[in-house]
């Protein structure tokens, strides 16, 4: 059964993470995605680690696509790219695709939804500056909540700037297609920047910032707290909260954990009032008390006791434990494609199911096929 975007043609001229992830997601949803690469290939083909000579990052970012080689220094190849874009429903381009000949204005394709991804946006004093995923993260303040107070920020464990930009691009593209197909409007150009996406990501936190001298509010205190690696039990760490328990539930949990000794501690009233986990204002100062009590129990035992007393708790996984968790298998979150275990599309459509249509293409794998289709379409219009 075809996916929800079956029948749409997407042309991608982008490298790295943001553009390829955008187009890949549209392909997972059923669109026919044609990725145009230069003769040297997308730069991510060379990223480590490799499997069988190919980058696993490349494989994970470029599935569900057909891949072709075009050399934009060659006029005939540049013309082929222009024709492919004019016939497409969606263009996903970043700096490598923003040539004057392939711009929105030059194409003049009324039906086209043209999504341009950039580091800083199309205007302003930073518009022409070079960028990188890391630079956008630093400028967007997205890394400051990591590391320890008083120390420099550390890099995020994922490419947040590119991934957020890609997800906003997917939303924008689908909204523009809806406007075109349902409202009878023409296509349009939209721009998504890594910098703007990071600012949008922070917006729910910034609205809570009312007193920067104290840094207290919804997740704002992470600026002043040490990194949270969970509450260590006898075997594994967990994350837990007492927010829904109430005093009676906390008292019961203390008894269940055989932590009666904590009632004589000077911080006991703060422990009952402030709870635990990231939502607790002073939870990081009380963590040692909980970990002292948890030391006699396994993570599974502590989770069961917390939930039975009205709170909630989950294991704090590393990658290996997360991948092996039964919940991951239950929702089919990880699939193997071309020898690489990948995260599956996060959507679960009932009537138009999504899926990985094909593995990432070898360099130029579909060039002859796609150009033959282009020639056939040209003859059909004569």
Give 311-355 pLDDT, tens digit per residue. 889 999 888 888 998 999 999 999 999 888 999 988 888 889 888
Cβ–Cβ under 8 Å, residues 118 and 39: no
- What pLDDT score was predicted for residue 183? 84
Least confident window among 38-47, 188-197, 239-248:
239-248
Residue 377, pLDDT score: 87
Average pLDDT over residues 197-204: 81
Can you tell me the mean pLDDT for 64-87? 97
For the segment 114-155, what is each residue's pLDDT rounded down to a tens digit?
999 988 777 778 767 766 555 555 555 544 456 676 777 666
Average pLDDT (53-81) is 95
Predicted local distance difference test score (pLDDT) of residue 142: 45
Mean pLDDT, residues 106-113 taken together? 95
3-state secondary structure of 183: helix
Specify whether the CB–CB gap between 354 and 5 falls below 8 A. Answer: no
Asked which of 84-93, 270-279, 357-366 is least confident by mean pLDDT, the reply is 270-279
Give the pLDDT of residue 138: 52
Query: What pLDDT, on a 0 to 100 scale, did the predictor assign at position 144?
Result: 45
Across the chain, what does the average pLDDT equal? 87
- Over residues 294-315, the pLDDT tens digits come to 999 999 999 999 999 998 899 9
Could you give all domains of the chain from N- to C-terminal order, each with its CATH number?
9-203+330-380 (3.40.50.10540), 230-315 (3.30.1540)
Write down the pLDDT at residue 89.
98
Q: Could you tell me the pLDDT band of residue 51, with boundaries at 50, 70 and 90?
A: confident
How far is 282 from 313, CA to CA, in rounded Å? Answer: 19
pLDDT of residue 190: 95
pLDDT recorded at residue 143: 42
DSSP string, 314-374: EE---HHHHHH-HHHHHTT-EEEETTEEEEPPS---SSS-----SPPPPTTTTHHHHHHHH
The pLDDT of residue 68 is above 60: yes
Q: What is the pLDDT of residue 147?
A: 67
Could you read off the pLDDT of 250-273 as tens digits, one per residue? 999 999 999 999 999 999 998 888
User: What pLDDT score was predicted for residue 211?
Assistant: 67
Neighbours of 7 (CB within 10 A): 11
Percent of the chain with pLDDT over 70: 88
Q: What is the mean pLDDT of residues 51-77?
A: 94
- So what's the pLDDT on residue 317? 87
Nearest Cα residue to 356 out of 8, 33, 11? 33
pLDDT greater than 80 at residue 191: yes
**What is the model's pLDDT at position 184?**
82
User: For the whole prediction, is pTM greater than 0.85?
Assistant: yes
First vs last C-alpha separation in the chain: 34
The answer on pLDDT for 283 being more than 90 is: no
Evaluate if residue 185 carries a pLDDT over 50: yes
What would the mean pLDDT of 204-225 be, rounded to a whole number? 68
Angle, helices 160-183/18-28, rounded to nearest 10 degrees: 50
């Amino acid at each position: 059964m075809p996916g929800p975007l079956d029948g749409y043609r997407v042309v991608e001229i982008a490298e790295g993470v943001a553009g390829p992830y955008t187009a890949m997601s549209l392909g997972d949803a059923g669109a026919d995605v044609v990725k145009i690469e230069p003769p040297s290939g997308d730069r991510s083909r060379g990223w480590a680690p490799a499997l069988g000579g190919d980058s696993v990052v490349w494989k994970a970012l470029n599935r569900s696509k057909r891949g072709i080689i075009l050399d934009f220094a060659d006029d005939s190849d540049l013309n082929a790219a222009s024709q492919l874009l004019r016939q497409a429903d969606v263009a996903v381009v970043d700096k490598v695709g923003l040539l004057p000949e392939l711009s929105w204005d030059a194409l003049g394709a009324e039906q086209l939804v043209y999504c341009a991804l950039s580091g800083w946006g199309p205007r302003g004093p930073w518009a022409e500056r070079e960028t990188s995923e890391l630079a956008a993260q630093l400028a967007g303040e997205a890394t400051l909540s990591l590391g320890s107070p008083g120390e420099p920020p550390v890099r995020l464990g994922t490419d947040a700037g590119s991934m957020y930009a890609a997800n906003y691009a997917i939303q924008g593209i689908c909204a523009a297609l809806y406007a075109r197909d349902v409202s009878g409007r023409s296509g349009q150009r939209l721009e998504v920047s890594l910098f703007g996406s990071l600012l949008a990501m922070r917006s729910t936190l910034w609205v809570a910032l009312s007193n920067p001298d104290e840094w207290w509010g919804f997740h704002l205190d992470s600026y002043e707290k040490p990194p949270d690696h969970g509450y260590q039990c006898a075997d594994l760490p967990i994350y837990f909260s007492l927010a829904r328990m109430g005093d009676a539930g906390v008292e019961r949990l203390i008894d269940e954990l055989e932590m009666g000794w904590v009632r004589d501690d000077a911080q006991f009233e703060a422990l009952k009032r402030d709870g635990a986990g990231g939502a607790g204002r002073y939870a990081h100062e009380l963590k040692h008390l909980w970990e002292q009590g948890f030391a006699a129990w396994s993570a599974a035992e502590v989770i069961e006791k917390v939930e039975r007393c009205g709170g909630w708790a989950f294991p704090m996984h590393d990658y290996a434990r997360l991948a092996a968790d039964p919940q991951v298998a239950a929702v089919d979150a990880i699939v193997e494609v071309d020898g690489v275990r990948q995260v599956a599309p996060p959507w679960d459509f009932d009537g138009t199911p999504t899926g990985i249509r094909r593995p990432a293409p070898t360099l130029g794998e579909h060039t002859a096929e796609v150009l033959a289709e282009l020639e056939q379409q040209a003859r059909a219009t004569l």
